[in-house]
Structure 1
Amino acid sequence: MVFKAAAIQMCSGVDPARNVESMTRLVRDAAARGAIYVQTPEMTGAVQKDRPGLMAVLRDEESDLVVKAAADLARELGIHLHIGSTAIKLDDGRIANRAFLFGPKGEKITSYDKIHMFDVDLDNGESWRESAVYRPGEWAVVADLPFGKLGFGICYDVRFPHLFRAEAMAGAEILTTPAAFTKQTGEAHWEILLRARAIENGAFVISAAQAGVHEDGRETFGHSMIVGPWGKILAAAGGTGEAVVIAEIDIQAVKACRAKVPNLKNGREFSLEAAPVLAKGGVTV
């Protein structure tokens, strides 16, 4: 099957209602251009580094503004709408960084909570401790859709290839990594990581991103991208501002690529054994 997929690039602020307005406008644009699968970035609902400020605007899944708007949009436009993620308030006082996939009848097909937490001190002085605020997910997800099988990831997950390998081994033909990559790490690694995940799994990779200087002062890398299973960039946005990135996805290309390089079939189980330590003179110790 051949279909059009879109990655929506945003620069979300601290107000979920305004972000929903931007999301709605961009999703409508993508659908008008023929996209039947549309993906938004990580933290579509709010980019807010101030924890009290974020907690003040959070809602649970049942009342979340992004969730409600996305279900309505998917139904109205007759598309599959993938909210890359939005922050969802949990009963234990923490937050889920949660992706949602809605079908063309407005139904929630599945959700996915970001598994890997970005806890790091960067060279430029920025410090991130996602695990202090967010509850990590525990389940990988693959959704069987009319146009192909879709595997889920969010942002930092892209640095953990075993997640996407597990999804590809479960049949995923399209891998997703919506993100809010920092400018510093994005400049160094974003394109390389996306192309690597596509090549090593013989899969399409679709990555909608946050882009530019946000209302809370952080700066994200942008460059929303769709990559083919041979590692070719099919479509990409720039590093700032809103964008709608669209490419044609031919699922048969996945089968062809995996036939040429059958590494998913050729992989073998193995054990890791530490080599003996040799002292001076070649004596094993």
Structure 2
Amino acid sequence: MNPNKRTDADQARFKVAAIQMLSTPSVADNIDSARRLIADAVAQGAQLILLPEYWAIMGHSESDKVGHAEALGSGPIQDFMAGIAQQHRIWLIGGTLPLVAPEPDKVLNTTLVYNPSGERVGRYDKIHLFGFTKGEESYDEARTIVRGSEVVAFDAPFGRVGLSVCYDLRFPELYRALGQCAMIVVPAAFTYTTGQAHWEILLRARAIENQCYVLAAAQGGKHQNGRRTWGHSMLIDPWGEVRAMLAEGEGAVVGELDPHKIADVRASLPALQHRKL
């Protein structure tokens, strides 16, 4: 047998990567970091790459991103994403970037998807806006973000990919509305407090109940603005097992999707067929 000959099973597999960042208030610096980390993931064979939430700007204040909001289809952040996808011939799910919103002094927190030709093939505006107060720690995304309203998925070479962002993770009805997916993505900037308590539990739950892969790309560490994010970017398989993970700091979490794993899990435990509600 030729050891270099790829089997049908090998050909069905697809490498994906979650990029973990420590984004700063500088869009230019963040683009440079993303370019370097994407190149590293490509060197490891990644064919689809996910950036984290707020990858392009993590400002000193929540309102800083308003000044960097781009109109759909125009701007340095979008130009970079389209160009890097085309350059490396990859599928790129662009975490989130601030898009111009219909309300003054606010943005849409938007995920854009690019195919290997650099064409935009998907858009999702984050639906659930994070709010949390505990002691001196307080966040309220609704002050600067207009929520989206549409559930979005797109077709990749290995199957359907469902889009979600960070706080969406706590709302399982969103993932049911996506239908049956081969993979769900979760770009995020979970706080250290909430991430330590719930991040992995929620990600594994979404993988188990939807019997699909979950790819989560996070912000991970202490930022220039003083905020500390939880990190722990990871790839989880349809049985709920963590296949790859990076706890903190910059890096690329690279792993392989196996469509046969999805089929085996759904055949042995046909929970999706047993749904009554």
TM-score (norm 1): 0.90
Pair 163,49 (structure 1): closer, same or farther in 2 beyond 3 Å: farther
In structure 1, the residue matched to 2:205 is: 196
Structure 2 residue corresponding to 1:117, chosen from 129, 135, 151: 129
CA-CA distance at 1:10 after TM superposition: 0.3
Structure 1 residue corresponding to 2:243, chosen from 231, 234, 237: 234
- For 2:132 and 2:246, how far apart are their aligned partners in 1? 27
In structure 1, the residue matched to 2:262 is: 254
CA-CA distance at 1:224 after TM superposition: 0.4
Contact map agreement 1:37 1:81 (CA 8 A) in 2? yes
In structure 1, the residue matched to 2:219 is: 210
1:2-151 matches, cutoff 5 A: 2-93=13-104, 94-122=106-134, 124-151=135-162
Task: Give 5+ residue unaligned stretches, structure 2.
Answer: 1-11
CA-CA distance at 1:58 after TM superposition: 2.8
Deviations 1:28-72 (A, max 9, x none): 111111100000100111012514433233332333322110100
SS at match of 1:45: coil
Bigger Rg, structure 1 or 2: 1
The 4+ residue runs of structure 1 with deviation greater than 3 A are none
Structure 1 residue corresponding to 2:192, chosen from 183, 194, 201: 183
Deviations 1:82-134 (A, max 9, x none): 11111222243221110011000000011101110112212x42111111211
Contact map agreement 2:126 2:165 (CA 8 A) in 1? yes
In structure 2, the residue matched to 1:159 is: 170
- For 1:171 and 1:202, how far apart are their aligned partners in 2? 8
Q: How many residues align?
A: 265
Moved more, 60-69 or 198-207: 60-69
Identity of paired residues, percent? 38
CA-CA distance at 1:166 after TM superposition: 2.0
CA RMSD of aligned residues (A): 1.2
- For 1:225 and 1:65, how far apart are their aligned partners in 2? 28
TM-score (norm 2): 0.92
